[in-house]
Amino acid sequence: MRKKIAAGNWKMNLDLTQAQTLVSELVQMLEDEYNGSAEVVLAPSYPFLYPIHHLIKSYSRFYLASQNMYQKESGAYTGECSPMMLKSAGVTHCIIGHSERRQYFGENHEQLLAKVSLCIKSGIIPIYCVGETLSERESERTFEVISDQLVHSVFPIEGEDFSKIILAYEPVWAIGTGKTASPAQAQAVHAYIRQLIRTKYGEEIAENTSILYGGSVNAANAADLFSQPDIDGGLVGGASLKSREFTEIVKALP
Ligand code: PEP
């Protein structure tokens, strides 16, 4: 059965004290108020990974994600972090292919495939993001763009390894804009993604792949989005920086 997941992408926000306060509040609220099965994945910036690992390690629903990694195991790559380094700091998941990394850091299909592959080899679960821009949606290229992002960067991976990947559909026009895809719009793309997986890897892997929706998810819209049959949770940016808001988002999952 596929997992329900709420992942918080903090991006380049918060200082260490703020990050620790947020996590302490979140842990307390969810311990007190939530009995469901969802996994909660937190993605702070690199310097906060290890301290946050210490705050969450004794709570089984919490997992730690990095927002990026480098596609080499070690070496002279000043300023970069390898998956082995991240794993040794408590990281279990890694966001790969976020649209901000594609847009501002020029990450391309080939690099992203290398990242996803090394991530899996290192025992870290990739959360691989796909999504179309507004102009791509308006020119009716959404499915083509999503298919390209999957075909080039994750479908070369063989079935057993592919089954370790979490996918996130994040329409670029909905990220940080306050414009959310309607539940029907999101469901249509999620169903399309699941169908591509079914065609490539078969029914069992398609049914077991968690596909998260991301793009201005908040406490008010989460339940409607998460009630769609092919939406298995959320990848949440802005609203994951507020403990009460993010708690309500997690509580929208069964
Ligand atoms: C994100 O950064 O992955 C995201 C979905 O951001 P927001 O929720 O702020 O739109």
pLDDT digits (tens, 9 = 90+) for 149-168: 999 999 999 999 999 999 99
Domains of the chain in start order, with CATH, are: 5-251 (3.20.20.70)
- Which residues, 6 or more positions from 236, have their beta carbon under 8 angstroms from its beta carbon? 6, 7, 8, 9, 214, 217, 246, 249
Nearest atom in ligand 1 to 218's CA: 8
Question: Does the Cβ of 215 fall within 6 Å of ligand 1?
Answer: yes
- At residue 92, the pLDDT reads 98
CB under 8 A, 24+ apart: contacts of 180-187 = 180/215, 180/216, 180/217, 180/218, 180/221, 180/225, 181/213, 181/215, 183/224, 183/225, 183/227, 183/228, 183/231, 184/228, 186/213, 186/225, 186/228, 186/231, 187/228, 187/229, 187/230, 187/231
Question: Does the Cβ of 127 fall within 6 Å of ligand 1?
Answer: no
**Separation between Cα atoms, residue 136 and residue 140, nearest integer Å:** 6
- At residue 1, the pLDDT reads 82
**Separation between Cα atoms, residue 110 and residue 33, nearest integer Å:** 43
Cα torsion 84, 70, 169, 139 to 10°: value is: -170
Type and span of the H or E element at 65: strand 62-66
d(CA 247, ligand 1 centre) in Å: 16
**Separation between Cα atoms, residue 81 and residue 254, nearest integer Å:** 35
Query: Can you list the alpha helix ranges (DSSP code H) found in the chain?
Result: 16-33, 49-56, 83-88, 99-105, 109-121, 134-138, 142-153, 159-162, 183-201, 203-208, 222-226, 243-251
Question: Does the Cβ of 240 fall within 6 Å of ligand 1?
Answer: no
CB 234, CB 149: distance < 8 Å: no
> Residue ranges of the chain with pLDDT lower than 70?
none
Type and span of the H or E element at 169: strand 166-169
**Separation between Cα atoms, residue 229 and residue 191, nearest integer Å:** 8
Pocket test for ligand 1, best of 5, 11, 93 (most atoms within 8 A of CB): 11
- At residue 186, the pLDDT reads 98
**Exposed/middle/buried for residue 235 (C-beta within 10 Å: 0-12, 13-18, 19+):** buried
Residues with a catalytic annotation lie at 98, 170
- At residue 25, the pLDDT reads 98
